[in-house]
Structure 1
Amino acid sequence: MRWSMMRAALVATAVSVVLAVSPATAVPPPTEQTATLQAELDELVATAGVPGAQLVHTVAGRVDQFDSGIGDFGTGGHFPDGAQVRIASVTKSFVATVVLQLVAEGRVELDSPVQRYLPGAVHGPGGDGAVITVRNLLQHTSGIPNYLSMIDQESVEGLRAARPAAELIRLGLDSPAEFTPGAEVGYSNTNYLLLGQLIQRVTGLPAAVEVTRRILVPLGMLGTYWPLYPVEQVLRGPHPRGYHEFGGVRVDVTDIDAGWGLADGAMVSTGGDLNRFFLALLSGELLPPDLLAQMRTGLPTGLIGYAEAAGLGLFRFSTSCGVQAWGHTGAIHGFSTLSVATETRAVTVVMNELPGVAGNIGITVGSDTILEAALCMD
């Protein structure tokens, strides 16, 4: 689809709602539990070495917001209420949900080879589309290498040097496969670029449009959108500034969209909206029970942090109190996001810089204690 057609389709979908941010409660009533969450957030900011952070906790219809540190060095201000941030790989949970909706509609089969939907697209030393299945892409068990490890991410020029999805997919497929499909979990953004192409091939519309009309509009996620890259670089609503250190120098990268409009990490959202999405997903509003169960069937990841198992576009997080939650993390220059939920409770933490100590999907040392505090509350 030509860019002008994609833009028109996105705008046509978006006009069905008023694009406005729905802020969380800025100052929750002081209680022992909220004091604990505030203290944990303050500790996270200090431990991670980031300028600031915002935590949004949702349970029983109540939405509490907590802020810590600096949201904007220029003004010295905190994160604004209902802050919009680039959510990076949390986008994958939305893309996976759309793919599974297509499965529910009988338009895609989870265990069919990718070649059935993208003929000739997956070939090379990195993978064979006749062997790799849709499930393999969703669960990061394809063995296709991650294109992100092959491009310049350590300079402002590198962040601005956008490449089309097909070129990035080719980078992954031209490198040797990391393992036999289905043998293990190996996180790869290349998988979700392919899923974005699959959605467009099956529906005739870009993943951006399908996510908007199938999820964002029905759930009233007014602070969430898929940017119209490359014409839309500035975040639409109230937002913190996002920072990144290049050679020891902290640079404001807020207005550089390093997601490039692609299906592995393009979206912008708020903590309240992300909580709404994961609560709706896990409570069965978006998928039939059998597919939600498959989405939550996890394989061991070996990743740093609490993301102990990989489902289909989700990761499982467990706590010492026995609570299991599902969600995703996102890491992009300028922002880091952790969003998890059970059927009844959700918590999202966003930071305005990539933390100094992080796992390979952006989980920060210290995030585990926030999950413990939020998910184990009475």
Structure 2
Amino acid sequence: MKTQSPSAITQTRVSRRVAVTALAAALLAGAAVAAPGVAAADSSVAVPQATAGQDRPELQKATQAFVDAGFAGVQVRVHDEQGEWVGSAGVRKLGQSAKPPTNGSFWAGSIVKTFTATMALQLVAEGKIGLDAPVAGYLPEFGLDRRITVRMLLQHTSGLFNYTGDFDPDGKYVPGIPAAGKEWLDNRFRSYRPEELVRLALSKPARFEPGTDQIYTNTNYTLALLLVEKVTGRSYAEELQRRILRPLKMRGTTVAGIRTQLPGPHAHGYYRYEEDGQEKVVDISRQNLSLLAGAGDLISTTQDLARFASALNGGKLLPAKLLGEMRKPHPKMGYGLGLFVQDLGPGCGTVYQHNGSPPHGYGAFMYSSPDGRKTLTASVTWVDEATRGPAKDYKKLVDKLVQEVFCGGQAGAAVEAKPAR
């Protein structure tokens, strides 16, 4: 798709409509699905602060490809045996020429699940909770099925309804809290309490018997947040600071809570909709992510995510046994305990990753080698729309970047996301 100027945004018509709820659910789940929007005018790559490994034309090309495909902006950070490479492409804000900051803040979405799982497993290591103990024993106020264990929350095998909307076993969509379309747009500053989200989910029938299936569900991680708070006697944000952010000097990362403004330099995401026959584009860089407490409400930077991924996979945050549990994939979707385990094929090996996005306008991804010495972290912005737009390009672009970093750009490298056995 050719790059369009910002002035062309309001003239662009959406010619193809797809199911809103299915794609919205996939994106909220942190899957590698996004909507390429209207591309920005200035899409050249910025490669600042020359360090070892900065002259990496293959990474510049893979970064630029996002903007060429229609995304507004992208920032990428790679750390490997050649050193650290950072770059950005596109624009920070539509109608302006400034490029996205290479270490700007962004809504990191479901990547927070890896942080939540790490804290829960730290509590397991300290003997404060049991990985296979009933969650109801720690949170009796919710009347949870006693078969649901801590492991099932972190592994998405609890069977609980997803409070942002879900599908019945027969395929019928059951609405939850609006997380897509104009209804979400009009309510994007509303605040929610974690208990409110959980009780809404528990008001709906379970999707399957605990432990018998695996379906990605935000409710699991909001419950895990409440578990951390109950056991420690401190807020989730305080525990995150104490256990991870402060020790790793992650100064650009915070729990969003009811905060609606990204701090410091940041790229802007957008939402496009039609009203009275007119297309309108809204800057949604401000939004309230309390909607996804513990499951998608993280603010971070590429540098901080790289530091976290490296420390986690390098064994600095969890004992080896529990890190092994975290990286043990369920056969259905290759998800362990807060991490996707992805086999890249011969010559490339395995990576541990988690992608994420708030409801609209932003996407982020975090990849690491098993030893934490090689990392890829990035954030993208785009002009979103009610139908989410075509999803095909995003996964292909991420796969290409992953191939360049972890497979040395090998032709035909198997970067298709498949579970590692």
**TM-score, scaled relative to structure 1:** 0.83
> Which is worse superposed, 174-183 or 30-39?
30-39
Structure with max Cα Rg? 2
The alpha-carbon deviation at position 377 of structure 1 amounts to 2.9
For residue 40 of structure 1, the aligned residue among 53, 62, 69 is 62
Residue 328 of structure 1 corresponds to: 354
Alpha-carbon distance in 2 for matches of 1:104, 1:363: 38
Across the aligned residues of Structure 1 and Structure 2, the Cα RMSD in angstroms comes to 2.4
Structure 2: unaligned runs, 5 residues or longer: 1-45, 166-175, 410-421
Change (3 A) 1:27 1:273: same
Work out whether residues 27 and 64 of structure 1, in 8 Å CA contact, stay in contact via their aligned partners in 2: no
Matches within 5 A, 1:78-97: 78-97=99-118
Alpha-carbon distance in 2 for matches of 1:31, 1:225: 29
> Which is worse superposed, 243-252 or 320-329?
243-252
Work out whether residues 51 and 84 of structure 2, in 8 Å CA contact, stay in contact via their aligned partners in 1: no
Work out whether residues 112 and 298 of structure 2, in 8 Å CA contact, stay in contact via their aligned partners in 1: yes
Alpha-carbon distance in 1 for matches of 2:158, 2:68: 37
**TM-score, scaled relative to structure 2:** 0.75
SS of aligned partner of 1:221: coil
Render the CA deviation track for 1:25-70: whole Å, top value 9, x for unaligned: 72557979821111112223333x3211111101259321111112
Matches within 5 A, 1:185-334: 185-227=214-256, 229-230=257-258, 232-247=259-274, 249-260=280-291, 262-302=293-333, 309-320=334-345, 321-332=347-358, 333-334=360-361
Work out whether residues 53 and 351 of structure 1, in 8 Å CA contact, stay in contact via their aligned partners in 2: yes
Residue 345 of structure 1 corresponds to: 374
The alpha-carbon deviation at position 172 of structure 1 amounts to 1.5
Work out whether residues 47 and 88 of structure 2, in 8 Å CA contact, stay in contact via their aligned partners in 1: no
Matches within 5 A, 1:57-136: 57-60=78-81, 62-123=83-144, 128=145, 130-136=146-152
Residue 73 of structure 2 corresponds to: 52
Render the CA deviation track for 1:143-172: whole Å, top value 9, x for unaligned: 112111212222322222222211211221
Alpha-carbon distance in 1 for matches of 2:312, 2:337: 12
Render the CA deviation track for 1:296-348: whole Å, top value 9, x for unaligned: 0001344xxxxxx1010111122233321112111112210111101210001
Q: Does 1:174 align with 2:203?
A: yes
Change (3 A) 1:324 1:348: same
The alpha-carbon deviation at position 191 of structure 1 amounts to 0.4
Alpha-carbon distance in 2 for matches of 1:161, 1:29: 43
Alpha-carbon distance in 2 for matches of 1:40, 1:188: 31
Work out whether residues 77 and 378 of structure 2, in 8 Å CA contact, stay in contact via their aligned partners in 1: yes
SS of aligned partner of 2:48: coil
Alpha-carbon distance in 1 for matches of 2:366, 2:349: 15
Work out whether residues 40 and 370 of structure 1, in 8 Å CA contact, stay in contact via their aligned partners in 2: yes
Work out whether residues 97 and 286 of structure 1, in 8 Å CA contact, stay in contact via their aligned partners in 2: yes
Percent identity, please: 34
Alpha-carbon distance in 2 for matches of 1:299, 1:62: 34
Q: Which amino acid aligns with 2:271?
A: H
